[in-house]
Structure 1
Amino acid sequence: MPESKSRKKASRPAPAKTVSTPKENPVWYKPVMFGLMILGLLWIITYYVTQGQYPVPSFGGRNILVGFGIAILGFLMTPRWR
């Protein structure tokens, strides 16, 4: 049985892979993130332990919202943490 002639393919250089490395976060990012989470927790604990006299007595029950708001700011920073 006769063999067919093989075709020579023109050699092409392999395309350069563009791998982008994620940028590192600034040095202050992680301490601020965890600091906000802990500060919010401490705010709420202080409110409960002192029976509403601290941290801000005029806020009353809204101290809970302030504590959760501070903690949520810390949690919102976590998706960008690398």
Structure 2
Amino acid sequence: MPESKRRKRTTPATTQTSTAHANKPNPVWFKPVMFGLMIIGLLWIITFYISEGALPVAAWGSGNIVAGFGIAIIGFLMTTRWRS
């Protein structure tokens, strides 16, 4: 019966270099932008409801809700990339 080939063993040095890039912390601007987008999106929607559709962009109508949620969702998606 033929023998199967042996697998190459990975050394800790090779696995360390591939994970070293993934463990780098985020830039200083990342957290303020992330939280800022979430707050701006929330304020956009609140402004739309309080002004009864006149603000932030009257011509968009209910599209303002989509814009507000879109801005907030971008902020929430940034949380998946957040490393301390």
**TM-score interval for Structure 1 and Structure 2 normalised by the shorter chain:** 0.7 to 0.9
Aligned residues between the structures: 68
Listed as ranges, the matches of 1:8-27 within 5 Å are 16=12, 18-19=15-16, 20-21=19-20, 22-27=23-28
Partner of 1:44: 45
**Normalising by structure 2, what TM-score?**
0.74
Which aligned runs of 4 or more in structure 1 are off by greater than 3 angstroms? 15-21
Letter in 2 for 1:24: P
Q: Any gaps of 5 or more consecutive residues in structure 1?
A: 1-14
The percent identity for this pair of structures is: 63
Partner of 1:57: 58
Alpha-carbon distance between aligned partners in 1 of 2:41 and 2:64, rounded to the nearest angstrom: 10
Mapped pair 1:75 → 2:76: yes
Letter in 1 for 2:59: S
In the TM superposition, residue 16 of structure 1 has moved relative to its aligned partner by 4.9
Alpha-carbon distance between aligned partners in 1 of 2:69 and 2:27, rounded to the nearest angstrom: 25
Letter in 2 for 1:27: V
More helix by share: 2
Q: Any gaps of 5 or more consecutive residues in structure 2?
A: 1-10
SS in 2 for 1:54: coil
How much is the aligned-residue C-alpha RMSD, in angstroms?
Answer: 1.4
In the TM superposition, residue 54 of structure 1 has moved relative to its aligned partner by 0.4
